[in-house]
A and B are shown apart, each in its own frame.
Chain A
């Protein structure tokens, strides 16, 4: 019955990691049990709740819908790869400030799903945010403060992006002067 384990290597949160796993092992179990990244949670067994959402090659994916072997060679970001307690990512900071979480169980998945949304639509309306949450379930908050958090995050991330651009331009100008 036993099928031989396969070595699966991925880049998680910027680090190359590998482990030998059964071919049938779900990606979420590989991340949690083999790599010890327990920030990604499991809330159901039918891919409805979205608590296990992560980024695979830049796209939000429910990690219970993929086998670990399917992730071979991919770049993965989990909640652990966003910000730290000392330096929260703007999305995490916004969830904190707007009280976008209660028990915190769905939160990592919701954050990942919402980062996926902002990637596609950096300035979503309230309606678009609510639509964008179709793939996740939160049982605690009634969603309202999550919506507020995503709105705030969109603003913070846009500002950060602008600042980055300004710095880039300033640097280019400076370099230009320098070289000139």
Chain B
């Protein structure tokens, strides 16, 4: 099967999912299964005085109620997995159920187990908790002030971490011809996978094995962390991620709830199922972003950029989530210069505890925020010096010849050609003509805006040594085994854990091309710690660049061994064997050949193998990349604003992404579309709203505006391909590009439209009211 890589194949996953044959967590029914619900705190901050569970326990069908006190000493705290070094990190232990204090609305207080999910829900109302309500703190900048309530009594000023990278001398800023300053708030949003979280535990008393099906983007990380929390050997804990209805970062985290379900299943020796409700999800599942970013960009009047100085004050919520500490520090702070050759950069980040749900990685994790601040400030800079924003970008782009390029924060960008997607996007937009039209329409009083985001992002986590150096509690290499059965059919085991990305198809394409066999002969296995020895999961656009690379190398190794067997059988030297279209052929001797299937049989039968060769045809690769990968591109939005109502219409959206070598253009484009929808959602509609006392006011799908189909024009998407030298596929990552790029593109378009009123910033999401007010308060009104 030649040229399978790069083909827009239909997905292997789909027929099953299209016919109701998927197997999601809630579809799993086990004999004797119990149902769990979690009673959660209605207060943002309170002392638990007493919990009365008697009524609930008396209720027919209720099997058990556990409180934090009941579990003390039996189940450990759930730790963060990103212990950022040199940041004075203060980790407060998060016990699976609150013991003395609740620290956010949604904090778990009691676990109820019942025979039926309706009975379990009823029992929620039968538990009475006596609280002493305490003052709460919600906003991160307020939380750092003196005299405010402390989320954790022993952590001063609620500062969880203080991190710095890079240095910009004051003189550079003070002496610069131009300094543009702005403060941006990248608001708290919810990843909102359409399937909420879930966990099902089953304990086998005979073997002592606990099986946990749970909505995890990284089952092996769950196994590693939970074995510790539950005090069970990794060899006795099997974590399986079933079909998952999306993740977007929200299912990276190892949550208290999963530990509770595992504990109860083992304690009660009956299967226990917990399915999170949507309204519960809003407070119980990690949110994303919530960073206040103060930026100073300094340079010359001719557009030469010299320095960027950034301060990020990040709301980490009440506890440190699995990846939370790394997002506003490493992921954000090392990427603040974006696609530009800015010689001086510094970032100072405060991570702050508040009485809110913890924040964690959400699609892009730090990179959308980094892109947002640089792409927004560069537009303001262009406005300040009266230069076209495209010209300013071009002037400061990292040049094509400069790759591999080390940015001011020390990251080595693997490959790039930033002009290429920009050119293509401008051409698609018909930029000059569009500007002309904008001017004409402006004369008629219409507000049209054109905005760009020429982003670069860090993906493909990552080199293990770097992970260690930045405090990440994981190896983040990848693992794949390609197993060839006697028939020549193949099973491929992977350590990444897809949940909508379509890796059974794209990784299958890699194997089909390498082994010259049909797609239908290849089965992919993911997401089960019992069949896959190790792996680090799917997040940070790492799956293809790291996991796909492992698949590719393992497949190459299979071919290498198969070639030796073919040479032996054909009595030719290995060098004379050519492998093409699934056949091993003696060079220049037509007819002297073996098919892949024949060699598969020979290898497995081992009747006549080369001397010293071990039987079977199977290879494994543990791929540890030497660097991250850096996708880039240009996104452009065209908006029209209704002056009288402040309503924004997204008229056009053009994107040209360079994600390295594209394995399947169809699924890659799907990823781009989905990413854009989430980024545009952040810019225009989505946003968590907390009251001052820490009540989440946007806690259902009636109050939180997820994007709908009618909000979008047809996205005009294209790719350029600049291969990465970091992995044998030349692939970068595509899952997050859309989100990373689009927030700034849309915001810049709106700001461009509001230029006549000299509006420089409006806090996202851009509701009609905010836009209308900005117009009313703007210059000339």
Contacts and interface: CB of A to CB of B under 8 A. Distances in A.
Given A2-B60, A102-B501, A130-B710, A139 B248 contact: yes
B691 interface: no
A147 interface: yes
Among B117, B195, B248, B671, residue most surrounded by chain A Cβ atoms (within 10 Å): B195
A41 B11 contact: no
B730 interface: no
Interface stretch (B13-21, B352-360, B436-444): B13-21
Contact of B700 (A24, A36, A46, A137): A46
Among B19, B60, B117, residue most surrounded by chain A Cβ atoms (within 10 Å): B19
A80 B22 CA distance: 11
A17 interface: no
A101 B501 contact: no
A145 B701 contact: no
A65 to B, nearest CB: 14
A123 interface: no
A142 B673 contact: yes
Given A45-B279, A130-B709, A103 B193 contact: yes
B20 A108 contact: yes
A88 B15 contact: yes
Given A43-B195, A133-B710, A106 B245 contact: yes
B709 A146 contact: yes
Contacts of B19: 39, 79-80, 82-85, 88, 92
A159 interface: no
Contacts of B677: 139, 141-143
A37 B277 CA distance: 20
Interface string A66-89: 000000000000111011110010
B20 A80 contact: yes
B27 interface: yes
A129 B279 CA distance: 28
Interface in A126-148: 126-127, 129-131, 133-134, 136-147
Given A88-B19, A139-B246, A145-B670, A22 B706 contact: no
B17 A104 contact: yes
Nearest to B501: A102
Interface string A14-39: 00000000101100010011001111
A69 B707 CA distance: 33
B26 to A, nearest CB: 7
Given A41-B245, A43-B278, A95 B709 contact: no
Contacts of A140: 194, 246, 500, 670, 674
A96 B709 contact: no
Nearest to B703: A46
A43 B194 contact: yes
B431 interface: no
Interface residues of B, number: 61
Nearest to B246: A103
A108 B22 CA distance: 10
B757 interface: no
B11 A103 contact: no
B118 A24 contact: yes
A64 to B, nearest CB: 10
Interface string B676-694: 1110000000000000000
B28 to A, nearest CB: 9
Contacts of B16: 85
A105 B29 CA distance: 18
Interface in B1-25: 10-11, 13-24
Among A51, A111, A133, A137, residue most surrounded by chain B Cβ atoms (within 10 Å): A137
Among B29, B246, B248, B738, residue most surrounded by chain A Cβ atoms (within 10 Å): B246
B710 A101 contact: no
A45 B278 contact: yes
Contacts of A82: 19
Among A46, A103, A108, residue most surrounded by chain B Cβ atoms (within 10 Å): A103
Nearest to A126: B714
A99 interface: yes
B193 A143 contact: no
A13 B610 CA distance: 58
Contacts of B244: 103, 105
A7 interface: no
B20 A139 contact: no
Contacts of A115: none
B524 to A, nearest CB: 16
Contacts of A88: 15, 18-19
Contacts of B667: 99
Contacts of B666: 99
B118 A46 contact: no
Among A85, A104, A146, residue most surrounded by chain B Cβ atoms (within 10 Å): A104
Contact of B673 (A101, A106, A107, A144): A144
Contacts of A145: 670, 673
A147 B712 CA distance: 11
Given A41-B245, A43-B245, A102-B501, A51 B701 contact: no
B507 to A, nearest CB: 16
B469 interface: no
A158 interface: no
Contacts of B457: none
Interface in B617-643: none
Contacts of B499: 103
Given A42-B26, A84-B19, A142-B715, A105 B709 contact: no
Interface in B293-315: none
Contacts of A139: 192-194, 246, 248, 674, 677-678, 706
B746 to A, nearest CB: 13
Contacts of A29: 117
B702 interface: yes
A102 B14 CA distance: 8
A169 interface: no
Given A88-B19, A141-B673, A143-B709, A46 B702 contact: yes
A105 B24 contact: yes
A129 B14 CA distance: 22
Contacts of B706: 137, 139
9 contacts: A25-B118, A39-B22, A41-B26, A43-B195, A43-B196, A45-B277, A99-B11, A99-B670, A127-B710
Q: Which 10 A-B pairs have the closest CB atoms?
A: A39-B20, A105-B245, A104-B17, A103-B500, A142-B673, A142-B677, A48-B701, A38-B27, A102-B500, A133-B709
Interface of A: 1-2, 22, 24-25, 29, 32-33, 36-46, 48-49, 51, 78-80, 82-85, 88, 92, 95-97, 99, 101-108, 111, 126-127, 129-131, 133-134, 136-147
Interface of B: 10-11, 13-24, 26-27, 29, 60, 117-118, 122, 192-196, 243-246, 248, 277-279, 499-502, 666-667, 669-671, 673-678, 700-702, 706-710, 712, 714-715, 738
